Amino acid sequence: MTLTGIGDEAGAPLEAQIQAVQALGWKHLEMRNVQMDGWPVMNTHDLPDEAFDRLVGRLAEAGIAVAAFGSVIGNWAHSVEEDFAVTEGEMARAIPKMQRLGTKFVRIMSYQPRVDADGRDLPDQMEGERFRRLREIKRRFDDAGLTCVHENCMNYGGMSISHALRTLDAVPGLRWVFDTANPCFNEDRDNPGHRQDPWAFYQAVRPAISHVHIKDGVWNPSKKDLDYTMPGAGQGRVADILADLHRTGYDGFVSIEPHISVVFHSTGAGDTRDPEQKAREQLDTFVSYGRHLAALMQAAAA
């Protein structure tokens, strides 16, 4: 298993992302959002050519390869009812950039769940259209020699184990990126009113896993979200999953996504830290998280 991390969790500027992985002694970044000098923060596949040229050159100078693209293709912000041209444009921008960087994996999703005006899931999730789109997305990347990995997140395939398995059945050969903490905050549509079981979800999709995201946390009902923790300290079964990945011969990337850049500090009205201090703490937390995970992986392999 090879450690990497989603770079913007260390900071939006590319230099912060490079600094973080170099501090950890890693040789790979997972690119999601990035800020290049003179341009706003945006997903890597949306960078203008000049900005992307600079990114390519800076990564080469630093000796850092790109493990995966965390694209926005079919993600929780996209509806399955929107014009497919939006997705086609994202693919057209992502594919040549991935090829230039020698990146194999692209994270995709299966579009946001359809809900009514009160936020309740609609009975008709337009599965046929979702699966048609996913098959076309996969075909486009396959033809380019690239691999789609679907994430269990706030999308159709992340709604429950049965939704995930229907997605895998309907899109032959689709691979999976398993996120350890996403089941902890996602409602289980197979068992309404309850959160998903990360271990059961992991076991169900294990044969399709080609990439892994590590985050962890404890469900907080009062805010309807997780209190994010260091890996192994939450409900994501991180240590168990790492041990099983080792036991079953997984040899891909394990990518950190901490979500806890201010976990040790107040973030309310009393938070008087300046932006530079916050940026330093975000980078330092990313590095600390990576070191925690490295220790867990050593224990899993023992």
- Strand-strand pairing, 65-70 and 105-108: parallel
pLDDT digits (tens, 9 = 90+) for 50-85: 999 999 999 999 999 999 999 999 999 999 999 999
Stretch 285-299: mean pLDDT, rounded? 95
Question: Quick one: pLDDT at residue 189?
Answer: 97
Q: What CATH code is carried by the domain that includes residue 89?
A: 3.20.20.150
Instruction: Assess whether pLDDT exceeds 50 at residue 156.
Output: yes
Query: What is the extent of the structural domain holding 215?
Result: 2-301
Question: Quick one: pLDDT at residue 204?
Answer: 98
Q: Which of 114-128, 184-198, 252-266 has the lowest mean pLDDT?
A: 252-266
Question: Residue 67 and residue 118: Cα distance in Å, rounded?
Answer: 39
In 134-291, DSSP assigns E strands to 147-151, 175-179, 209-214, 216-220, 225-229, 253-256
Q: What percent of the chain has pLDDT over 90?
A: 92
Question: Quick one: pLDDT at residue 302?
Answer: 78
List, in sequence order, the alpha helices (H) in 154-274: 161-170, 182-185, 198-205, 238-247
Q: What is the pTM of this model?
A: 0.94
CA 263 to chain centre: 20
Question: Could you tell me the two tokens for 222?
Answer: 């009062």
Instruction: Assess whether pLDDT exceeds 70 at residue 269.
Output: no
Number of structural domains in the chain: 1
Q: Give the pLDDT band of residue 265 (cuts 50, 70, 90).
A: very low
Stretch 112-137: mean pLDDT, rounded? 97
Question: Residue 142 and residue 97: Cα distance in Å, rounded?
Answer: 15
